[in-house]
Amino acid sequence: MTTKVWAIRAAEVDRGGSAVSSQELSKYLNREYVEMREAILEYLKHDLFKPKYDLSFYEFRDLTQERLKHLAKGNFISCFDHINNPGRFFAGMEALTYVDYSITIKCGVHYTLAGGAIALLGTRKHHNKYLPLLDSGKLPGCFAMTELGHGSNVMGIETTAVYDHARKSFVLNTGSDLASKVWIGGASQYGRLCTVFAQLTVGGDYKGVHVFVMRIRDDEGKLCKGVRIEEMGHKMGMNGVDNGRIWFNNVVLDRDSLLDRYASIDEQGIYHSPIKSIPARFGAMVGALSTGRVCIAQSAVDACKLGLTIACRYSSDRPQFGKRKIGSYLTHKRRLAPGVAQTYALHLIMIQLKGLVNDRHDPKKIHNLSSGLKAAATWTRVDVLQKCRECCGGMGLLSENQIGGMIVDMNVDVTFEGDNTVLMQQVVKGILTKGITKPEPIQVRNYSTEELLQALKYREDVLKYRLLQLGDLDANQDTCVDLGWAYADYLTAENFFKEVQRAPPALRDTLEELAVLFALEKMERNAVFYVCDGVIDADGLEKLRQRVNDQCNVVSGADGEHLNILCEGFGIPEHLITAPIAKGWRDFHTSPEIGAKM
Amino acid sequence: MTTKVWAIRAAEVDRGGSAVSSQELSKYLNREYVEMREAILEYLKHDLFKPKYDLSFYEFRDLTQERLKHLAKGNFISCFDHINNPGRFFAGMEALTYVDYSITIKCGVHYTLAGGAIALLGTRKHHNKYLPLLDSGKLPGCFAMTELGHGSNVMGIETTAVYDHARKSFVLNTGSDLASKVWIGGASQYGRLCTVFAQLTVGGDYKGVHVFVMRIRDDEGKLCKGVRIEEMGHKMGMNGVDNGRIWFNNVVLDRDSLLDRYASIDEQGIYHSPIKSIPARFGAMVGALSTGRVCIAQSAVDACKLGLTIACRYSSDRPQFGKRKIGSYLTHKRRLAPGVAQTYALHLIMIQLKGLVNDRHDPKKIHNLSSGLKAAATWTRVDVLQKCRECCGGMGLLSENQIGGMIVDMNVDVTFEGDNTVLMQQVVKGILTKGITKPEPIQVRNYSTEELLQALKYREDVLKYRLLQLGDLDANQDTCVDLGWAYADYLTAENFFKEVQRAPPALRDTLEELAVLFALEKMERNAVFYVCDGVIDADGLEKLRQRVNDQCNVVSGADGEHLNILCEGFGIPEHLITAPIAKGWRDFHTSPEIGAKM
Ligand SMILES: Cc1cc2nc3c(=O)[nH]c(=O)nc-3n(C[C@H](O)[C@H](O)[C@H](O)COP(=O)(O)OP(=O)(O)OC[C@H]3O[C@@H](n4cnc5c(N)ncnc54)[C@H](O)[C@@H]3O)c2cc1C
Ligand SMILES: Cc1cc2nc3c(=O)[nH]c(=O)nc-3n(C[C@H](O)[C@H](O)[C@H](O)COP(=O)(O)OP(=O)(O)OC[C@H]3O[C@@H](n4cnc5c(N)ncnc54)[C@H](O)[C@@H]3O)c2cc1C
C-alpha cells in the first residue's frame, strides 16, 4: 500500500479567502486528554490492529482477545478511572471505534461494564482485589444483567441470590431457562470474572436487584462449580465478541461477593442500605452505570466521523457523467453535509455529557441526557452510515472501505445499553415531571440563530405540554419518541451555538455554518410540526427547503471539497483511515488475497 | 430442531367474528404460476439450501456455486423464458430470496443478466448456441457492463471493440485501468461465458455501446487469451457471489459475437441498425434489459415478507415488562403494521409490472415503472428490515434469525441495477415530458378511499408542475427524488385499491384496511406537503396521526396477532422460515456448534 497524502487539504482550498484550518478545528474538537489520545492513536499502529476481513468465527474472536491483551499492555485504560477520573476513562475508549467495533465492545464489556460495576457499585475491598487484574487484562470480565425473558425490563429479572447466614454465603440460582443470562459478552470463551445481577433475599425478605461479583472460570479456564455456559451463536456482525449464555445452579458466593456500595450485609447477617425503597435502590445502582451508555453514544459519533471522512473524500474525487464530481450533485450534498453537521453537533454535546459524568453531576440529569443522546446518536449513526454507503455506490460495499463493516457490526447499538425506543420513553418520564404551561406561540421568519434555537426549544415545550394534556403516554408512545428527539435536538443545538461563541475566532464562522445547518435540517425534518403549529407558513417552508439546500451548498463547497476540511477536523489519523477509496480510488487494485489493496 | 406448528393461526384469532383466512390471502397473492412456485419451494427443502453461517469466504462461494448447479437440475428457470414467457421466468426466480441473497444474485447474474442479454439482445444463432448451456448450468455466465470509472453512466464506458473486416473479427481492449470491468458477478472464480458492453467502431465510424458475447474461461477453467481477471475483494455481505474485475487486451472475437438484434454487421463489413441515433439505440438495448431491475425489486419485497413474518411472530409472542406482549406497544405497531401494508401494496403492483413485461408493453412505461418501483421497493426494504430487526431486540441480531443476514447481504440492492438516486432522476425525466397544467387545489377531510387516492395523485401532479416551473432539475434534485416517490406511491396505492375490488369478497375488508393504512402512512410521511398545500390543516394533521395510530391498531390486533395472519398470507413455507424466534423463542437454546438451535 503506497501511502499518499490526501490531495485536498485545508490550505489548498480557497474558502472565499478565509480557509479554515482543519488542524485548528481538530484541536478544538479534540481538546481533552490530548496527549493520551495521541498516544493511543499511535499505539494502534501496531500490526495487531490492522483490519482483517476473512477470519473464521473463532479466529476473529482470538484476534479480538489478542487485541484486548495488547491494549491492556499499553496502560491507557484503567478501571480506577471510573472513580478517579471518568473523563480520562472516556478518552481511553474513544479511539477504538476507528479500529473495529468488536474490540470496542470487548473493551466495553471488560473495562466499562464489568470494571465499572465493580468500581462504582463495589467498595475498596472489591477495587483492590479485582481492578488491577482487570486493568492488566489478566482476568477477563463479563457483565451479566440480561436474561432470556428479561431484556429491557431489568427489574423483572429472575435469577435469585439467597443469603444463607449459616454459611455467610449467597446461593445463586437461575431457576427456569427464561432466567438464564443471555448475550453476555465475553462469557462464551474467555471470561473468568463476572458481575451478576440477581434478586436478593435476606432472611426471607426480598430486597430487590443487587449485583454480585464472582468467578465463572478458574485460572485454568475451567468452568466454576454450578456454572453452565453456552455459545450464543453467529451474529450479523461484531462476531469478535464471544457472547454467551449462563446458567447458575446453586452457586455459592461468599459474603464479599455483594457489591456493597448501596447495600451491605453485616457480620450478623443484617441487611443495610441507605436507600430504603427497592425501586429507588435499583435506580441508584443502575444510574451509577451510565458510563456504558455514554461510550456507546460516543462510538456512534466516532463511526459517523470515519464514515463521513471516507465518503466525503471519495465523493469529491469521483466523477460520474463526464468530469462532474458526484460530490457536486445536490442529492449528494443533501446526504453528506447534514451528517457532518450532526456529527459536529453530537461530538460537542458529548463533551458536555462526559463533563457532567466526570463532575458527578446530578444523576437524574445525567440519566436523561445520556439516554436521550444514546438514542439520538445511534439512530443518527444508522442514518448517516447508510447514506455514506449509498453515496459511495458499489465501492461502499467493499469491506476494505470500512463503511459497510461499521453498518454491519454496529447495528446492535440501537438495542444494547438500553433499546432506543424504550430509552426515549424513559427520557420522557424523566423530563415530563417538571410540569409546563402552554408555551407562547412563536413565528420564524428569517431562520436567524435566535429563531432557530427558539424553534427547537418550542417544539420540545409544545410536545411536553401536549403529552401532559393527552395524559395517556401509552396510547401516544409515538409522540413520546418525538419528544425524546426534541429534547436531545434542542440541547444539542443550544450547546452547538454556545460552542460557536466559545471557539477561537478563526473557527467561529465555520462552526456557525454547521450549527445553522444542524438546526435548519432538524426544523426541516419536523416541518410538519412547525407548519401545523403556525411557526412557519407554506411560503416559509419553501424558504426552509431552499435555505437547507443553500446551506448544504455552502458547507460542502462546489464538489464537496469543503466537507473534507471539516472531516479532517475530526482528527482521525491516516493510518486508521484504511479505506482505499479515501486515498485515491483510481489506484484501486485487487490482489489474489481477499480484499482490495492499494 | 423440533418442528412446531406456529401457534397463532388464522382460525384461532377472533377477528371481530370474521377471521380472514390466511390461506385465501395467500392464494390471492400468489396466484401466478402456482404449481411451479410450489414445486420450487418444495425443491428448496434439499439440504443444500439449509442456512450456513460460518463458512469461509471461499467455502461460501463453493456452496453458492453448488446451489446454482443443483437449481439448474430442477429445470425451473429457463433463459428461453425471457423470450417465450417472461412471467414464468420471474416466478422461477422469486423463491430464492427466502434462501439467501447470494444465490438469488448468483442466479440473477447467470440467468437474468447473462441469459437475458443473450436472449433479448441476441438472435437465434446466439440462443441456440448458448441458452441451453446456461439453462443446464454447464456454462456459468457473467454480465460485464460496469467499469471502474463508469458505474451509473453506462453510456460513458471506455472498453473498445473495433471491427477488423480483414479478419471478420472484433478486437476488444480495456485501455486504461479506469475502463476495466468491475464488480462482475461470477467473474472471479466460476464464470466462463461473458456478455460484455463496449464502444463499437466499424470502419472508423463510432457506433456507440454494443453488447458482445464471449468466453472468458475455457472448458478447463483456464483464462482465455487476452483476458485478465482479479478478485474484487471481501464485501460487507453477499460474499457467496464471486465478483471480479476484468481487463481485455486485444481479445479477438468473431463476427457472431455481436448480439445483433438491434445492430449487425454484414458479410461486407457494413454496419446496419434499424435505430439510427446512437442514444436511441443504446436506450433500446438497455430498455430490453429491465428484467434484472424487476427481479431486484421483487427480491426486496420478498425480503420484507420474510422479515415481517419473523418479527411479527416474535413480537406477538414475547412479553416484556410483565405479561404484556411487545407487539401490543404502539411503537411496535407503528413499526410493523405499515411495513406489512407496504409489502402487500408493493407485491400487488409488482404483479402488474411483471404483467407489463410479460405482455411486452410500451418499453418507456416499463422503464419508468420498473425504475421507480425498484428504487421504492429497495428503499422500503432498508427501512422495513431495520425496523424488523429493532423490533426483535437482541434476538434480531442472531444470524439464525434471518433478518440481520438480509440487512447485510441486501444492502447492495439500492445501488446495483441502477443506483436509486439516479433512477429517481431518470423516472422524473421520463414522466415530466408529458407536460401538466396547474392542478386544482383539493382538500382532504375524512381520509376516505377517494380522498386518499386523490391526495396521492395530487402530490405527484403538484410536484411535476412545480419542477416544470422551477425548470432547473439539477438545482432541485431533492424535489426530483420526491417526485419519483410520489409517482411510485400513487401507482402503488391506485393499484392496491383496484385489487380490493378485484379480490374475492371474503378478502376485501382486510385488503382495504391495508390499502388504507398504506395510503394514510404515505400521507403522513409527506404531511409537510399536504399541510403546506392546504390539503389538510393543523387539526386535520392531528386527525391524520390518530387515524394512522387507529389503523395500526386495527391492522395489528391487540398484541399484533392479526399481523401474523397477514404475514401467513405471504405464503412462505415453514421450512424456509428457519428463524428460531419465529417458532417459539422460549425454547431457544444454543449448541457447541455456532448458531442457535431449537
Ligand atoms: C450483541 C449483544 C451484546 C450484548 N451484551 C450484553 C452484555 O454483555 N451483558 C448484558 O447483560 N446484556 C447484553 N446484551 C443484552 C442487551 O442489553 C439487550 O438485548 C437489550 O437490553 C434489549 O433487550 P431484549 O433483547 O430482550 O429486547 P426486549 O426488551 O425484548 O425488546 C424487544 C423490542 O420490544 C420493544 N419494547 C420493549 N419494551 C417496550 C416498551 N415498554 N415500550 C415500547 N417498546 C418496547 C423494544 O423497543 C424492542 O424493539 C447484549 C445484546 C446484544 C444483542
Ligand atoms: C455487489 C455488486 C455486484 C455487482 N454486479 C455487477 C455485475 O454483475 N455486472 C455489472 O456490470 N455491474 C455490477 N455491479 C455494478 C453496479 O451496477 C454499480 O455499482 C452501479 O451501477 C453504481 O455504479 P458505481 O458503483 O460506479 O457508483 P457511481 O455511479 O459512481 O455512483 C456513486 C454515487 O454517486 C451518485 N450519483 C452518480 N451520478 C449521479 C447523478 N447524476 N446525480 C446524483 N447522484 C449521482 C449515486 O447516487 C451514488 O450515490 C455490481 C455492484 C456491486 C456492488
For chain A, which domains are there?
Answer: 143-278 (2.40.110.10), 289-578 (1.20.140.10)
Cβ(B296) – ligand 2 distance below 6 Å = no
Best to test chain A binding among B229, B243, B590, B591 (most A CBs inside 10 Å): B590
Q: Over 80: is that where the pLDDT of B273 sits?
A: yes
Q: Would you give the distance in Å from CA B495 to the centre of its chain?
A: 19
Say whether residue B414 is in contact with chain A using an 8 A CB cutoff. Answer: yes
- For residue A435, how far is the Cα from the chain centroid? 30
Residues of A in contact with B319 (CB under 8 A): 149
Give yes or no for residue B4 having a pLDDT over 70: no
Does the C-beta of A326 come closer than 6 Å to ligand 2?
yes
Residues sharing a CB contact under 8 Å with residue B424, sequence separation 6 or more, in sequence order: B371, B372, B375, B480, B481, B483, B484, B485
Distance of CA B316 from the midpoint of ligand 1 (Å):
16
Would you state the pLDDT for residue A595?
A: 60
For residue A408, list chain B residues with Cβ-Cβ distance below 8 A: 236-237, 407-408
pLDDT > 90 fraction of chain B, expressed in percent and rounded: 90
Chain segment B520-530, per-residue pLDDT in tens:
999 999 998 99
> How open is the CA angle A340-A346-A351, to the nearest 5 degrees?
130
Strand, coil or helix: what is B169? strand
Count of beta carbons in the 10 Å neighbourhood of residue A550:
12
Residue B1 pLDDT grade (very low, low, confident, very high; cuts 50, 70, 90): very low
pLDDT for the residue numbered A434: 63
Residue B436 confidence (pLDDT)? 81
How many residue pairs bridge chain A and chain B with CB atoms within 8 Å of each other?
229
CA–CA distance from A140 to each of A192, A521, B441 (Å)?
5, 44, 67
Chain B residue with minimal CA distance to A157? B321
Partners of A230 on chain B (C-beta within 8 Å) are 589-592
pLDDT at B213: 98
Nearest to B395 by CA among A443, A419, A439: A419
CB-based contact B594 A330, cutoff 8 Å:
no
CB B412 within 8 A of CB B378: no
The helix (H) or strand (E) run that includes residue A403 is helix A403-410
Please report the DSSP string for B395-449 in residue order.
GGGBGGGSHHHHHHHHGGGGTSSS-HHHHHHHHHHHHHTT--PPPPP---SS--H
Q: pLDDT by residue (tens digit) across B68-102?
A: 999 999 999 999 999 999 999 999 999 999 999 99
**Of B152, B528, B534, Cβ closest to residue A528:** B528
> Is pLDDT at B429 greater than 60 in this prediction?
yes
More confident call, B540 vs B171: B171
Q: How remote is the CA of residue B66 from the centroid of ligand 1, in Å?
A: 38
How far, in Å, CA of B544 to CA of B529, rounded? 14
Q: Does residue B414 contact residue B507 with C-beta atoms inside 8 Å?
A: no
Q: What is the per-residue pLDDT for B539?
A: 86
pLDDT number for residue B593: 59
Question: How far is the centre of ligand 1, averaged over its atoms, from the C-alpha of B394 (Å)?
Answer: 5
Q: How many other C-beta atoms are found inside a 10 Å radius of the C-beta of residue A333?
A: 27
Best to test chain B binding among A101, A176, A234, A325 (most B CBs inside 10 Å): A234
* Closest protein CA for atom 38 of ligand 2: A320
User: pLDDT for B290-349, tens place per residue?
Assistant: 999 999 999 999 999 999 999 999 999 999 999 999 999 999 999 999 999 999 999 999
- The 3-state secondary structure of B254-293 reads EHHHECCCCCEECCCCCEECCCCCHHHHHHHHHHHCCHHH
Q: Which of B222, B136, B209, B220 minimizes the C-alpha distance to B179?
A: B209
Best mutation target, A528, A545, A553, to test chain B (most B CBs within 10 A): A528
The CA-atom distances, in angstroms, between B523 and each of B5, B383, B442 are: 38, 17, 14
Give the residue on A whose Cα is nearest the Cα of B410.
A397
* Residue B19 pLDDT level (bands cut at 50, 70, 90): confident
Are A55 and A63 in contact by the 8 Å Cβ rule? The answer is yes
**Longest Cα pair distance anywhere in chain A, in angstroms?**
83
Please tell me the predicted confidence (pLDDT) of residue B591: 58
The three three-digit cell numbers of residue A44, written as one number: 494502534
Atom 3 of ligand 1: nearest residue by CA position: A183
Strands B193-202, B141-144: pairing is: parallel
pLDDT of residue A428: 97
The residue among A18 and B581 whose pLDDT is bigger is: B581
A150 lies within 8 A of chain B by CB: yes
Phi, psi of B393 (to 5 degrees): 55, -145
Q: What is the pLDDT of residue A3?
A: 31
* Greatest Cα pair distance in chain B: 83
| B96-142 pLDDT, tens digit each | 999 999 999 999 999 999 999 999 999 999 999 999 999 999 999 99
- With CB atoms and an 8 Å threshold, state whether B390 touches A53: no
Angle between helices A538-556 and A330-358 (to 10 degrees): 80
Q: Residue B13 pLDDT more than 50?
A: no
CA-atom Rg of chain A in angstroms: 25
pLDDT at B16 (0 to 100): 44
Q: Kindly give the parts of chain A with pLDDT less than 50.
A: 1-17, 597-598
A146 is in an annotated binding site: yes
> How remote is the CA of residue A179 from the centroid of ligand 1, in Å?
14
Write out the E strands in A478-562.
none
Average pLDDT, chain B: 94
Q: Which ligand ends up closest to the CA of B390? A: 1
B421–A233 C-beta distance less than 8 A: no
**Closest ligand (CA of A581):** 2
Average pLDDT over residues B552-575: 97
pLDDT tier for residue B589 given thresholds of 50, 70 and 90: confident
Q: Is A477 on the interface with B (CB under 8 A)?
A: yes
Nearest alpha carbon to residue B565 among B308, B223, B260, B229: B308
Q: Which stretches within B316-362 are classed as H helix?
A: 330-358
Residue A5: per-residue pLDDT: 36
Per-residue pLDDT, averaged over B427-437, amounts to: 86
The H or E element containing residue B246 is: strand B244-248
- Look up residue A174 and give its DSSP letter: -
